[in-house]
Amino acid sequence: MAAPATADGGGSGDSAGPATGEGGTDGDTREWLRGGEARAEPCGGCGAGDPAGVSRRVKYASLGVLVLQNASLVLSIRYVRTLPGERFLPTTAVVMAEAMKGSACLLLLLIQHRGSVRQTAVTLHEAVVGQFGDTLRLAVPSLIYTLQNNLQYVAISNLPAATFQVTYQLKILTTALFSVLLLGTALSRLQWLSLALLFAGVALVQAEQARAVPSAAALGPSPGPEVPAQSYAVGLAAVAASCLSSGFAGVYFERLLKRSGGSIWVRNVQLGAVGTAVGLGAMLAAEGPAVAALGFFYGYNGAVWAVVVNQAAGGLLVAVVVRYADNILKGFATALSILASTAASAHLFGFRPRAPFLAGTAMVLAAVVLYGRPRGAGGRSQDSGKSVGP
């Protein structure tokens, strides 16, 4: 992210920061590098007063990084896709992001094995060839994540950043429904209520946006004849499809991890490799002639590379956040990223939200926070809104 929960985004600000031991212990660093567990467990060397077993500094650093990544990815994609002039081909950006994510996980796996190339190769061989059935099953989320990432480019290219950010929270609803269907997850009454509130809030936002005729200032940073044409209906269809794909892929990947286990870094190397291959196939099918005529890196500049790196990092950030954060923290991070995107859209793109948009956004924010609340004092917090992928 990614995503998603992801914040799918899903898909999606990760760095080696959490592994440096800031606010934590050497044990925290080793556990993060091992990457073998999908959920955090309290450790003896961590802050004793913290229910999650980690220091508050690390938890709130995770919050800040997640907010920054979620908000900046949407805003930066919107910026580079609405600039006049040469436009990069989005399918090439998806391929590069998948390749970067797989390479980063491969590097982490190498660090896990203390720099031993031979041991890393043995681990990968056992995971890919020794468990070939799991490798084939991983092709399903890889294909869907690639589709989701391409759909996000289409959606953000055609919707204001704030509208996309609010509407994209429907991935929480789709993830919850797929969790109930595929994992047998039991949701509390409060969570069902929050999902209804989420749907109502998004519906209110969309009803207001459908009535309003977007101004040139709301659609792009530089109005003029060179600004690409945009379609609100296309953007809405793309974000709806992206939410469906994010929910299914995240739950499918979680189910696969629970059944087969294994290091999350190994799984992400497999996802990255398959995702890169699938992305290349999608690129050739959708924009093959354009890539052949213009070149793979046509339209790339510093801003485009920042988007690619940010998108790749979003896929890795989920694993870090799962290690250090809980659902309440992730809910607040999502809420803050929506607020940040709305405020930044007003400043950068001239987006002017009306009262119905603000009311619908408030309903979505409340739903996100309520959904992540634990069931009770002794109950276990549900994590059905989690997405392990980008």
Report d(CA 277, CA 10) in Å as an integer: 20
Residue 64, pLDDT score: 78
**Stretch (H or E) spanning 339:** helix 327-348
What's the CA angle centered on 100, arms 88 and 6, to 5 degrees?
90
Question: What average pLDDT values come out for the chain (390 residues) when binned by 10 residues?
Answer: 39 36 35 38 40 59 78 89 86 91 87 87 81 79 86 90 88 89 87 91 83 49 56 90 89 78 74 85 91 93 92 73 61 78 82 85 87 58 40
Place of tokens 């204001």: 160
- Cβ contacts of residue 68 below 8 Å, gap of 6+? 13
State if pTM tops 0.85.
Answer: no
CB atoms near residue 131 (< 10 Å)? 17
**What's 21's DSSP letter?**
T
**CB 174 within 8 Å of CB 243:** yes
Q: What is the CA radius of gyration of the chain?
A: 20
Residue 31, pLDDT score: 37
